[in-house]
Structure 1
Amino acid sequence: MDLIKVVIVEDHKLVRSGIKLLLGSDPKISVIAEAVCGAQVLEYLMKNELPDMVITDFHMPDTSGMELLKEIRNHYPAVRVVFLTMVEDNKIITEAFDNGVEGYLTKDISADELLFAVNHIAGGGKYISANLSHQLFLKPLQGLQKQDTATTSLEFNSREIEVLDLISQGMTNSEMGEKLFLSKRTVEGHRRSLIEKVQCRNSAELVKFAVKNGLI
């Protein structure tokens, strides 16, 4: 089994050590380098074998995480980029995914969620912290509830919101079932219900609908 090779970019030594320790608890993950700023990680990428993933803070001494993301996307497109940060601004989160980030995590997530996210992203998926995904969903939904009922006739129950959230993260029915403690068949039922409710043809169009209407 191939190891998931990770580079950590974090200017606070104690935080960096903690992240490394947590990642090291998973035998499938190997932290191959550490950096304290964007320039260091770019120098490392230029001179060494490329990692599978760069996990970086958003605020750094020399540059922003967004600029680092753009540099990596331009020069090392195969390297996955994950933000691990305290920044919870919805505009920044949206911009990050628009620029090709694979994961957006907050530093208050659990060790289990961090490890799940790294493994999920390494497998080709995308991931956003559960607390952020709920925040992104609840705010527009609260706005919808305040609108005149003639504006929208769509209503989503809490389980449908959770499923739509996970669909947007690229999870399979099996993965969603494990996370929500539901059977694969039940998750598929929720997926079909959402597709029928918004009158789209597939999950890709469902996610587009959610983006267009400010749900994700």
Structure 2
Amino acid sequence: MNIVIADDHAIVRSGFSMILNFQEDMEVIALASDGIEAYRMVAKHQPDILILDLSMPPGESGLIATGKIKEDFPNTKILILTMHDDEEYLFYVLKNGASGYMLKNAPDEELILAIRTIHTGGTYIHPKMATSLVREFVNKDQKIKQSDPFELLSKREIEVLPLIAKGYGNKEIAQLLFISVKTVEAHKAKIMGKLNLKSRPELVEYALKKKLLNF
């Protein structure tokens, strides 16, 4: 696989080149010192992988370059290599097309693993930063649940709700679902509370909006 390395430190570029060129399946074909030069090298060589440093003063940073390069050269996979373990940077570059994010203090073996992972279509996140992604996913899930009360219902409550809306009595629902009448009553109370419904007509209207009557 052909690789371009973009970093503002010559010693870093040289060191990474030696490590990667030692691998039988990797070849560093160009070097760049900032985002603008990285764009030019990608345009010229169309590499498989671009290793891109986030911070490259005084030139254009990797933050800016990531989106530009990915938009114009979608076939080049971008691996962000940085000292910043800031989750805001992580989310930004992933949203703008980067395929990997790892820290500069990681061992050489991790760099090689990351390159091979993204080259085959995967995504590589440094283990320390992966926790931030999980936390973000959980927080988004909680926000969805807060914005849509339907997400708060249990599987059993979702079964009970349309039966109530269709006019089945508690005893009939209990027989259909093989549960007790008291359990049906408890589910009904929880449904009304979670959805903030005050009457059966409101429940029927809600079920219609959610297209639950064919459930």
- Normalised by the shorter chain, which TM-score bucket? 0.5 to 0.7
Shift, 1:34, TM fit: 0.5
* C-alpha displacement of 1:137: 4.7
Partner of 1:16: 13
Q: CA deviation at 1:64?
A: 1.9
Larger radius of gyration: 2
TM-score w.r.t. the length of structure 1 is 0.59
> In 2, Cα distance between the equivalents of 1:74 and 1:137?
26
Pairing 1:107–2:125 present: no
TM-score, normalised on structure 2? 0.60
- The alpha-carbon deviation at position 16 of structure 1 amounts to 1.4
> What CA deviation, in whole Å up to 9, does each residue of 1:85-105 have, x standing for no partner?
001111110111111110001
The CA distance in 1 between the partners of 2:135 and 2:105, in whole Å, is: 19
User: What amino acid is aligned across from residue 52 of structure 1 in structure 2?
Assistant: D
User: Hey, which of these two has a bigger chunk of helix by percent?
Assistant: 2
Number of aligned residue pairs = 142
2:34, 2:61 within 8 Å by CA — same for their partners in 1? no
Secondary structure at the counterpart of residue 59 of structure 1: coil
CA-to-aligned-CA distance 1:27-84 (integer Å, 9 cap, x gap): 10110000111121222233x2310011010011222212101111221111111100
Runs of 5+ consecutive residues of structure 2 not aligned to the other structure: 139-151, 153-215
2:28 equivalent to 1:31: yes
Rounded Cα–Cα distance in structure 2 between residues aligned with 1:11 and 1:75: 23
Cα shift at 1:138: 7.3
Q: Which residue of 1 aligns with 2:48?
A: 52
In 2, Cα distance between equivalents of 1:45 and 1:94: 23
The structure 1 residue matched to 2:61, chosen from 61, 64, 69, is 64
Q: Is the 8 A contact 2:31 2:41 kept in 1?
A: no
d(CA) in 2 for partners of 1:77 and 1:137?
Answer: 26
1:134-181 deviation per Cα after TM superposition (whole angstroms, max 9, x unaligned): 45557999xxxxxxxxxx9xxxxxxxxxxxxxxxxxxxxxxxxxxxxx
